[in-house]
Amino acid sequence: MENRPWQARWKAESVPVRVGGQARIHKVRRNSDGRLGALKELHVEHLKDSERRARMAREVDALIRLNGAGVPLILDHNMEQVGEAASVLYFVEDWIDGVSLQEYAGGNPRGLDEAICLTKSLAGTVKTCHEAGVIHRDVKPDNVILRVADKVSVLVDFGMAYRKPEASESEGDIITEGQEIGSRFLRLPEHGIGGSQRDQRSDVTQIVGILFFLLTGRHPRRLLDERLKPPHEVLFDFFKGEITNDRRWPAIRRFFDVGFQYSIERRFQNCQRMLEYLDTVNEASQDSSSEERIKDEVRQLDQLLEKKEFEDLAKLDRSLADASNRMLNRLTDLVRENQLFLRRAGIDRMTHGRMVTFVFGFSKSREHAARVDLEHQILVSSGEAIAAYSFIPAIAPWEYYRGPVVDTESLQEAVLRKADIIFAEAVGVLRRKIEKGDVW
Ligand SMILES: Nc1ncnc2c1ncn2[C@@H]1O[C@H](COP(=O)(O)OP(=O)(O)O)[C@@H](O)[C@H]1O
Ligand SMILES: [Mg+2]
């Protein structure tokens, strides 16, 4: 290695750490202050390859934008020479002292708490990337370094990253098209040639893959196998007993059910939503019992017998209608149990795959004119099911549940939990009407 532009400021510590397809990586030390860096230098044989040069410039551009938020800081680079094919292109970033997640957990599954914690911190980093307009597109165990100093995960390798162009740039400035991206860690349909390729939801799906990897030590590889089974069913045996016996397992299983959906519209729609779901997984440990366990086993049995592919709208309709019916039935039962008088109850409207509503009303008795009416609705909007209700005349519907549309179990549970509370509120509304002498 002679006459390299960086040698005026940096000294290579050793032989290359790694020689990849695109670049070689050296551990280097800054002459001025001894600070350690990771030098990435484009292979000499690629110096004239404008596609690869542009890719390296993108990597530096993304890292500069992110400014060290869960990613290495850029310490030095010569990207101003990206257009000069003769020059050796390089950059230096912070040296992250640690092991890759691949080395840490490959074939060596970790415990649930640690896996969730690492996944959450990685999701936080990717969320920051998305907020800065950067999509990583190659989140995998090789590209996450677990720093020894604080056990925090650091995301590296923005060589595949895509950045949304600013108003002053044209798309062509920042990316070339027509090649397959992604990796064997988890192939995504949208990453193939002709796929959308620039969707932040793909990063979110790869993070779901990281949790899977941490819990099994295995790569999920694809969303569906040849028998249309998702990774957590195909490789179920790689989850340790302590994981599948944990109270949080049913919620974890649902997390994978959602996160590994084949259709991108049905997966977690952004990092924030995924993080919120992971928080509820931890809550699930607090209110469970053997009764829950039985319910879950029966549910799993049901699922085994019933194909749980949600691609057809009829099935989605049924699950929404089912949740809606449960709410209505429970409210109707409560009216009877409390010797009140049912005025109306019925599913009024059903818009295929999008919304189901019902109105429901009761009074103190047949003779009493004062009554309370409410409207309940479940609707689907950008991959999420939302449940809400309002008393008539309505001000605005009050939303009490929001979650991934394929996670019908959580919707059913939310509806059952909420029914009694809504009923109690309705009785309160009726009482106040009678107090004030209102009829409607
Ligand atoms: N900043 C860094 N500090 C320490 N090791 C790094 C750093 N960046 C990369 N590495 C190590 O080098 C490997 C390859 O780097 P990466 O950026 O992923 O390049 P490639 O495009 O060849 O995959 C990583 O998997 C990691 O082990
Ligand atoms: Mg890499």
The last residue of a domain, from among 306, 327, 356: 306
Choice from 14, 17, 19 to test ligand 1 binding pocket (greatest atom count within 8 A of CB): 17
Cα of 100 from ligand 1 centre, angstroms: 9
The partner residues of 373 in beta bridges, in order of sequence, read 361, 392
Whether 316 is in the pocket of ligand 1, judged by its Cβ within 6 Å, is: no
The last residue of a domain, from among 306, 338, 365: 306
Taking residues 397-417, report their average pLDDT: 92
Cα of 155 from ligand 2 centre, angstroms: 10
* Token pair in block for residue 72: 């290495």
Atom of ligand 1 nearest to the CA of 93: 1
Taking residues 14-40, report their average pLDDT: 89
Do both 80 and 102 map to the same domain? no
pLDDT exceeds cutoff 90 at 212: yes
Angle, nearest 10°, between helix axes 271-283 and 112-131?
A: 160
Do both 182 and 324 map to the same domain? no
Which residue's alpha carbon is nearest to atom 14 within ligand 1?
A: 18
- Comparison of pLDDT for 352 and 9, the residue scoring more: 9
Question: Which residues constitute the domain of residue 222?
Answer: 98-306
The full DSSP string for 299-349 is HHHHHHHS-----SHHHHHHHHHHHHHHHHHHHHHHHHHTT-EEEEEEEEE
Those residues with Cβ within 8 angstroms of residue 328's Cβ, 6 or more apart along the chain or in another chain: 345, 346, 347, 358, 360, 376
Give the helix ranges, DSSP H, for 110-267.
112-131, 200-216, 231-234, 241-244, 249-259
Do both 254 and 273 map to the same domain? yes
Residue 30 — very low, low, confident or very high, per pLDDT cuts 50/70/90?
A: very high
Query: What CATH number did the domain enclosing 400 receive?
Result: 3.30.160
Q: Which residue type does 105 have?
A: A
What's the maximum distance between 2 C-alpha atoms anywhere in the chain? 99
The helix or strand, by DSSP H or E, that contains position 370, with its residue range, turns out to be none
Atom of ligand 1 nearest to the CA of 94: 1
The full DSSP string for 61-120 is HHHHHHTTSSSPPEEEE-GGGTT-TTSPPEEEEE---EEEHHHHHTT-PPPHHHHHHHHH
Can you tell me the distance from the alpha carbon of 312 to that of 408, in angstroms, rounded to the nearest whole number? 14
Q: What is the pLDDT of residue 287?
A: 55
Taking residues 335-351, report their average pLDDT: 83
Minimal CA–CA distance to 117: which of 134, 105, 129? 105
Q: What is the pLDDT of residue 319?
A: 85
Do both 123 and 138 map to the same domain? yes
Ligand nearest to the CA of residue 18, numbered in listed order: 1
pLDDT exceeds cutoff 50 at 309: no
Q: What is the pLDDT of residue 6?
A: 93
Choice from 156, 183, 184, 185 to test ligand 1 binding pocket (greatest atom count within 8 A of CB): 156
Taking residues 369-375, report their average pLDDT: 91
Query: What CATH number did the domain enclosing 13 receive?
Result: 3.30.200.20
Tally of structural domains, the chain:
3
Which residue's alpha carbon is nearest to atom 15 within ligand 1?
A: 157
Ligand nearest to the CA of residue 97, numbered in listed order: 1
The last residue of a domain, from among 244, 272, 306: 306
The backbone torsions φ and ψ at residue 175, rounded to the nearest 5 degrees and listed phi first, read: -155, 150
Whether 125 is in the pocket of ligand 1, judged by its Cβ within 6 Å, is: no
Do both 4 and 109 map to the same domain? no
Choice from 10, 18, 183 to test ligand 1 binding pocket (greatest atom count within 8 A of CB): 18
Do both 261 and 113 map to the same domain? yes
Cα of 24 from ligand 1 centre, angstroms: 9
* Token pair in block for residue 285: 């440990």
Residue 439, CA atoms < 13 Å, CB-side half-sphere: 2
Whether 182 is in the pocket of ligand 1, judged by its Cβ within 6 Å, is: no
Query: What CATH number did the domain enclosing 164 receive?
Result: 1.10.510.10
Whether 138 is in the pocket of ligand 1, judged by its Cβ within 6 Å, is: no
Do both 317 and 174 map to the same domain? no
228-235 long-range CB contacts below 8 Å, 24 or more apart? 228/309, 230/256, 230/257, 230/260, 231/256, 231/260, 232/256, 232/257, 232/260
Do both 252 and 393 map to the same domain? no
Cα of 131 from ligand 1 centre, angstroms: 24
Do both 176 and 117 map to the same domain? yes
Do both 63 and 149 map to the same domain? no
Atom of ligand 1 nearest to the CA of 159: 21
Classified as helix, coil or strand, 371 is: strand
Strands 355-363 and 371-381: antiparallel
Can you tell me the distance from the alpha carbon of 438 to that of 388, in angstroms, rounded to the nearest whole number? 25
Q: What is the pLDDT of residue 300?
A: 73
- Mean pLDDT for the chain? 89
Taking residues 247-276, report their average pLDDT: 95
Do both 212 and 241 map to the same domain? yes
Whether 60 is in the pocket of ligand 1, judged by its Cβ within 6 Å, is: no
Do both 326 and 233 map to the same domain? no
